[in-house]
Amino acid sequence: MLKTNKSSQGPVLILLGPPGAGKGTQARYLVMHANLYHLSTGDLLRHAVSKKTPAGIIAKKAMENGDLVSDELVLEILSFRLSEIGESGGVILDGFPRTLTQATMLDNLLATRSQAVSFVISLNVDDDQIITRISGRFSCANCNTGYHDIFQPTEVNGVCDKCGSNNFVRRADDNIDAISTRLAAYNLETAPLISHYNARGLLKSIDASKNIENVSKEIQSAISEITEAITQ
Ligand code: ADP
Ligand code: AMP
């Protein structure tokens, strides 16, 4: 899975979708089945904020409000992480690109690594479900595994399935004010990427309102379809 015969470089898969659509959840499923790195710009930025790095200090306010961080700052943080991965590593991008400018920046950055965007999966969910998903989201403070109060609880109450930690966190921006700002930013800045990648023949849209397992199956079959089309 997730290999094209056009190049020895690792594939670059973009998960596109509004906040709370399930990008992080699906990325974590995909990395269990494929030799890929999961790169979430939201996670990278939250780490920078918690460490109070210069980038984190700049990003903090915009993130709390639900606004986008500047294209340049996000690119800087992503390029650094990509350089750590090494030149042939395949990646799943979650939360990047989020603007047309970032899409161009990404093409340029990948070209320096002899890589290119391989596929884009767009996860479609309506606003009501987004709010339900985001309102119940929490994650392990130790290993960052994501959960949901109703849809994806821990197997044992209060204990992380993956690392056994008892510490969980909820995101500061998972509140109703920031959610509406984030949805507006998605509709204005990010949604145009759907037609951008569709025009390049790289996009597959998925109905992400189904349960986690069914969305995962749909993503895997979409990837197989696109891989076949690319390698024919
Ligand atoms: P994103 O990375 O797109 O912001 P997440 O992957 O963090 O979204 O998912 C948001 C919340 O919704 C999480 O609490 C997750 O457990 C839950 N979730 C993800 N996918 C589904 C799904 N298909 N059905 C129900 N809940 C889901
Ligand atoms: P996420 O974890 O993807 O929901 O992102 C959380 C927040 O981080 C967003 O609301 C933005 O403030 C910021 N962010 C993450 N990725 C980007 C990006 N590609 N461009 C701009 N801001 C971003």
> Using an 8 Å Cβ cutoff, are 182 and 173 in contact?
yes
Residues of the chain with pLDDT under 70: 1-8, 227-232
Residue 66 near ligand 2, beta carbon < 6 Å? yes
Q: Which residues are catalytic?
A: 23, 98, 137, 171, 182
pLDDT the model gives residue 33 = 81
pLDDT the model gives residue 229 = 61
pLDDT the model gives residue 175 = 93
Angle 91-151-185 from CA coordinates, rounded to 5°: 55
Residue 215 near ligand 1, beta carbon < 6 Å? yes
pLDDT the model gives residue 3 = 45
pLDDT the model gives residue 225 = 76
> Using an 8 Å Cβ cutoff, are 68 and 182 in contact?
no
pLDDT the model gives residue 42 = 97
Which residue out of 133, 211, 218 has the highest number of ligand 1 atoms within 8 Å of its CB and is therefore the one to mutate?
A: 133
Query: How far apart are the CA of 132 and the centre of ligand 1, in A?
Result: 9
pLDDT the model gives residue 89 = 80
Residue 151 near ligand 1, beta carbon < 6 Å? yes
Q: What CA–CA distances, in Å, run from 80 to 41, 55, 110? A: 11, 12, 13
Dig out the tokens for 68 from the structure: 């986008």
Query: How far apart are the CA of 130 and the centre of ligand 1, in A?
Result: 8
